[in-house]
Structure formats: C-alpha cells, structure tokens
Chains A and B, each alone.
Chain A
Amino acid sequence: MSRSSVRRDGVHGERPGRQAPGGQGTATTAPLARGRRRGRGGEELMVPGAEFTSYYGRPIIKRPTWRARDIAGYFFLGGLAGAGSVVAAGAGATGRPVMARALKVSSLAAVTGSAAALVHDLGRPARFAHMLRVLRPTSPMSVGSWLLSAYGPAAGAAAVLDLTGRLPRLGRAATGSAALLGSAVAAYTAVLAADTAVPAWHDGYRELPFVFTGSATLAASGMALLASPVGENAPAVAGALLGTAVETAAVVTMERRLGMIAEPYRHGRGGRLMRAATALSAAGAAGAVLRARRSRSAAALSGALLLAASACTRFGVFHAGVASADDPKYTVLPQRERLRRRAEEAAAASTAE
C-alpha cells in the first residue's frame, strides 16, 4: 500500500495523501468525469473538486464471488441452449430436420455444460442439491434452478428422441416444452444478474433481459448456421439479423439510460468485450446475409463469429458489473443524486402547499 519507509533520519519515499476526506458527498450534480482512475487501497484519496468522498477508495458493496468463466459462461451456454430450443422447434415445424436435430443436440450439450458450470462455481459443490431445497420466488437463482431442472430433461428428451427416431409424438411434445421453457431460460439469467446491488447490473434491469435474449438469439442462429446445410439456413440468417438488432438496440438504450453507471460498459475490460461483441456480431450478420445462403464454409464462419459475439457480450456484461461493484463512485454518486432529487421534490412540495 504505502511506499514510504521510516528511518532514523526521517521518512523516505512516497507519502500519498491518505486522509479520508470529510464532506457531504457530491458537491456537483454533473455526471462524473469519465474514466478517471481512482486509487485503490488507500492512495489518492483526495478527489479533486471534492465531488465524491469514500472510505479510502474502498468499494462499498462486495464484488460477486463468481468466477467469470463459470457464470458468464453459464449465461452464454444458457442462452445458447434456451434460444436453440426455440430455433429447433421452429426448424422442426417448417421442415428443416437437419437444423432441428443439430440444435436439439447443441441445446442438450449447452444445458449440460451450463449446469456443470453452475455446480462448479459453488463454494460447496457437493451441496448442489440444496438448490432444490426450497422454491423462493424472490431468488432468481432458486427460480432458475427449478426452471433448469424442468428444461434440462425436456431438452434432453427432445434430442434423444430425435436422434433415435423413437416415440415421435412424445418427441414433439418435448421439443415444444423445451422451446417454451428455453425462452425463459434465456431471459431469466438477466434477472439473476440484475437482482443484486451491483450498479451496472441492477440499474440496467429494464434492458438487460433484451440484451440477453438478443445475445441468445445470436448464439442460436450462429449454431444453426454452423450446423445446417445452406438450403435450410434462411431462418438462421434472419435470426442473426434479428438478434443483432435486438441486442444492439437494448445495449444502446441501456447505456443511454444509465448515464455514468454505463461507464464500465464502455471502458476497461467490460468495454473492450462489449466493443468486440458489436464488431463480431456485425461481421457475422453481414457474412450471413451476403454469403451464407450460397457457401457452406461462409455460413459456418459467420456462425462461429456470431457465437463468439454472444460470448463476448456475456463476458462484457459480467466484467462491467464487477468493475461497477469495485468502484465506490458507482454506488455513492447515483445514491447521492437520488437523495438530492428527493430533497428537491420535498422542498418543491412544501413550497407548493
């Protein structure tokens, strides 16, 4: 922390101003200067302009203990599985058997992987069954666990019955229920993230579900492009466009509405991943529209780009959230602003009387 050393003849080295400043939070109401690096762990505590005070620059809320690979990976795989089941049902209903089968299989693989990631992330993996000990509607993780335990078998049955060709009636029922439950699986993970005190997640709760379903549509369309013959892939191309449009619109709306809390979506690791996602989805969608109906390899390449785009979005959202939890300004300043507005409203109400 401190880089100074005390010797007999005095103190040498850096002695950063490590006084926790006094003050009343924001003096200014302006959205913060962006990108200002704040010292962590006791250095650079005096903020110029005294617009923001904190306790030695330490975070106020705790960052998620989740590992990015597990939980962002879970978001990605859950979306791929869920939207994949919807695409599989659509492909099955419109006479595209190769696409339908491929997505049923990929959904089964993805949901298995996502469950494994969830269990792996537990502090006590052996106690994973405690997830189904209660059903708690206020806990998106509880709701999600029950959802997954209904969706998983449905997706599994759909895939296995398609591959074996057995019990076609039951197979159609499984495909249909997997599609219905799958759409919920793809959307609920946004609530899972938003139902925390993490500013970039919580405050984005209006748009985040659309970011996630858009991203899931991208992933499933990408998988469909990757796995189906060109003759069948028209819906996958349209799905790629739809997913790109929904996701981009949702991200733009969210960033505009969030104001300064959107900074972690634009800067740092989260920002880099979000930008990569935009570039990859644009390239993937363009490739899909221009070449995927003609060339099998172009379709596969576009599909891979779209899958990568979806993964980047999930990791981007994850890292943006962590960054917003780590910097106390994202917790303090919006709350200060809220208090100020409330005080203003109260003052206005009392003068109106």
Chain B
Amino acid sequence: MSSIIGRNLLAGAEPDPAGDAGHGPDHPPRVGFFTDTSVCIGCKACEVACKEWNAVPEDGLALTGMSYDNTQGLSADSWRHVAFVEQSRPLGPPAPADAADRPVDPAAAPDHSGVDVFALAAGQPAAAGAPDLPARAADSAAGAAPAPPSPDGRTELRWLMSSDVCKHCTHAACLDVCPTGALFRTEFGTVVVQQDICNGCGYCVPACPYGVIGQREQDGRVFKCTLCYDRLGAGMEPACAKACPTESIQFGPLDELRRRAAARVDQLHAAGVPEAALYGADPGDGVGGDGAFFLLLDAPEVYGLPPDPVVTTRDLPAMWRQAGYAAASLLGGLAAVFAACGTHRKGPR
C-alpha cells in the first residue's frame, strides 16, 4: 500500500481501494463478480437466493410486459435483477463466409411484426400477412440467414439475459457523498451500508451512476447488495453466485476474474460472436473499474446500463472551485453595491 498523500483518490485507476480506505496491509484480496451474460438462462435463481439469504422484502407485484422481467430494476428491495431483452436477430453472425465483414446492423434484422403467432400456433401457414417473408426467403435461399419461424418452430429470436447487481465501484459515488459515513469500504474492497448509521438523507440515491441504491419507503433508509458481507466473512461465496446453475455469476478475487473474463471474450470472438465485450472491467474507466463487471452481447444501454459512467466526485474539486468563485462574487458584488450607494444619512430627503 503506497501513501494516499498526494494521489488523486477521486478518479482513475486505484489498485487497492480497501487499503486506501484504511484497511491494514494484510487485508484479503479484493473480490467481486464476473457476470458472463452469454450463459445466463434467465432462471432468476440469483434473485431468489439473494432475497432469501438477505431477507429482502417483497418489491411489488407487477406484470410489466417487459418480456419475462417483472422485477424491472435494482432497488432497495431488489439487489439482483435479471434483465430480459428480446431481439429479432440470431445470436452471433449467420454462418456464411461474408459474415465477418458485414457489420451487425439492427435495421437489417428481420421484422416479425407481421407474424401472427396465434395463426402459427393454430397450425395455419405462416406466410399470411408477413410482409417481408418473400424477401427473407430469397435471403435464406442465398444462404444469408435462416427464415423466421421455420417449420421446425425455430425463430431468429435472440434473447439476452443479464443479472444486474451493485457494481461495487472502485470509486463509489454513493460512498463518496454519504454524509454520515453509513456507506463504507470493506476489507474485501466492497461497498456496504451500515444500517444503524444511515439516516435516510437519500444523497447516495441520485449519486450512483448506475441507479443501483434505493430508499425503502416505509423504512426511510437505503439498501443495496452487500456482496454478502456476512457470507464473505465466514469464508462462503455470495448467495447469488452459489445459486447460479450456469456459472453466469462467477465470484472470486478480482484479478483472477479479470483474467478469466478476458479469456472468455477471446473464446466467444473465436466462436463467431464478435459483439461479446466486457463492461466495467477496465480499471481506467470513469469509476476506476467495477468490482462487479459483465460480459455483454450488445450495447450497455440495451441492458439498462450507462455506456460511460463517471463517478460524480471526479469533478468535485472543480465544483468547489466554482462555488468558491460564486460565493466570493456574491460577497464582492454586494459589497460593491453598498459601496456605490454610500452611507445613508438620516432625515428627510
């Protein structure tokens, strides 16, 4: 652990956040999650395991129509959230040889809006009213892509699923802005709320660039993923990772996870999934890298993640400077006003 004096602790790469937060040199290595969304099956075992282990209360029962996602997002009562994205395009590029030099173009994806699934289910021919079917048929004859709903029932639906969670940022805005010190950095480098300290000021809520932490209304305090601090302390892996049947949620020391993730991306690229990309794994990004990072198959915003999050306190020195100028100009301006108006003399004018 190098000295924290004279270093920028508000932004940029920071190899040892736990050490910089004051944990001794023998603190355990930083841990986190690598969520490989390419193998997520959307079973929501993580959501359930988290609720069960942490006794997180019910978060509202709603039928949203957002594919299979009725959780909607992370909140005080949802510390894991599985996103479901239905897209009209196949996973990875189609087989043909020209695939490599053809960019993935969402506009070129087949349009299924004219397909009547009820007619299909009733066994009627699919062609009725599907405007682009002839074109697509010609396409598939040329070997470009398989036609939509084919006789064997397969479609070109690409179903993206991703289990979202608190990122346990290297530079955590929630922690930086908390006025009570309720949010703190653990010896594992994770970010946790001390529930007996939080006074519900709510400052952390709009500060998080990912919209993770939320206030529980009846309770008044804020809650979020603790990265199962209690389980970590007992040498156990977090409940959500433990419950994940496909190893989509991988838990471990961050260094090791980053190596594993890089290898997985290479593997997917070689297998013909050029859009596979890591999100939040770069220690040089706006939050200094996430403790919980992801392998995504589309742009981050498609999953409801910000494309280029920046910890708000990176600009804090500039903010204080501007406020200083403003305060000084308030004093100076009003002093000038009084000086210009001169001393008031009593009596009738």
Residues of chain A whose beta carbon lies under 8 Å from any beta carbon of chain B: 1-2, 10-11, 17-25, 41-42, 50, 52-56, 58-66, 82-83, 86-87, 90-91, 93-96, 121-125, 127-128, 130-131, 133-134, 136, 138-142, 145, 179-180, 183-184, 186-188, 190-191, 194-198, 202, 205-210, 212-213, 216-217, 231-232, 234-235, 238-239, 242, 246, 325, 328, 331-332, 335-336, 338-339
Contacts and interface: CB of A to CB of B under 8 A. Distances in A.
A187 B326 contact: yes
Nearest to A59: B211
B225 interface: no
Contact of B306 (A60, A133, A231): A60
B301 A25 contact: yes
B180 interface: yes
A63 B322 CA distance: 25
A61 B343 contact: no
A124 B320 contact: no
Given A10-B118, A122-B220, A190-B323, A23 B177 contact: no
A138 B205 contact: no
Given A55-B301, A195-B313, A23 B323 contact: no
A94 B342 contact: yes
Most buried by A among B180, B221, B325, B329: B180
A127 B211 CA distance: 25
Interface string B307-349: 1110011011011101111111111011101101111111001
A249 to B, nearest CB: 11
A123 B220 contact: yes
B267 interface: no
A131 B182 CA distance: 10
Nearest to A140: B177
B326 A209 contact: yes
Given A86-B334, A231-B349, A335-B307, A66 B202 contact: yes
A324 B307 CA distance: 16
B299 A83 contact: no
Contact of B337 (A19, A63, A238): A238
Given A122-B201, A332-B307, A90 B337 contact: yes
A18 B208 CA distance: 27
B106 A179 contact: no
Contacts, number: 305
Interface string B57-81: 0000011111101001100000000
A233 to B, nearest CB: 9
Contact of A205 (B180, B202, B318, B331): B318
Given A19-B88, A22-B87, A94-B343, A145 B179 contact: yes
Nearest to B72: A58
Given A60-B301, A122-B220, A213-B329, A95 B343 contact: yes
Nearest to B346: A95
A246 B333 contact: yes
Given A83-B330, A94-B343, A242-B337, A1 B63 contact: yes
The 8 closest A-B pairs by CB, nearest first: A123-B200, A123-B220, A55-B304, A209-B326, A127-B199, A142-B179, A90-B338, A335-B308
A138 B313 contact: yes
A186 B299 CA distance: 41
A18 B319 CA distance: 40
Nearest to B214: A62
A202 B197 CA distance: 27
Contacts of B109: 22
Contacts of A21: 87, 106, 302
A65 B309 CA distance: 21
Most buried by A among B86, B214, B324, B327: B327
Interface in B163-210: 173, 176-182, 197-203, 205-210
Given A50-B107, A134-B180, A195 B316 contact: yes
Contacts of A62: 205-206, 208, 211-214
A206 B322 CA distance: 6
A58 B302 CA distance: 11
Nearest to B201: A122
Given A133-B197, A141-B179, A191-B320, A19 B302 contact: no
Contacts of B320: 191
Interface string B286-310: 0000000000001101111111110
B74 to A, nearest CB: 9
B113 interface: yes
Nearest to A54: B301
Given A198-B206, A205-B315, A22 B298 contact: yes
B313 A20 contact: no
B145 to A, nearest CB: 15
A203 B104 CA distance: 33
Contacts of A198: 206
Most buried by B among A22, A130, A208: A22
A202 B215 contact: no
A128 B307 CA distance: 36
A59 B74 CA distance: 11
Contact of A186 (B83, B87, B176, B327): B327
A138 B334 contact: no
Given A25-B301, A86-B334, A19 B87 contact: yes
Contacts of A94: 338, 341-344
Given A20-B85, A139-B179, A197-B312, A56 B66 contact: yes
Contacts of B331: 86, 179-180, 183
19 contacts: A22-B89, A23-B299, A53-B301, A55-B303, A60-B304, A62-B211, A62-B213, A82-B330, A136-B178, A139-B179, A142-B180, A179-B331, A190-B319, A194-B319, A197-B207, A197-B211, A197-B309, A328-B301, A336-B301
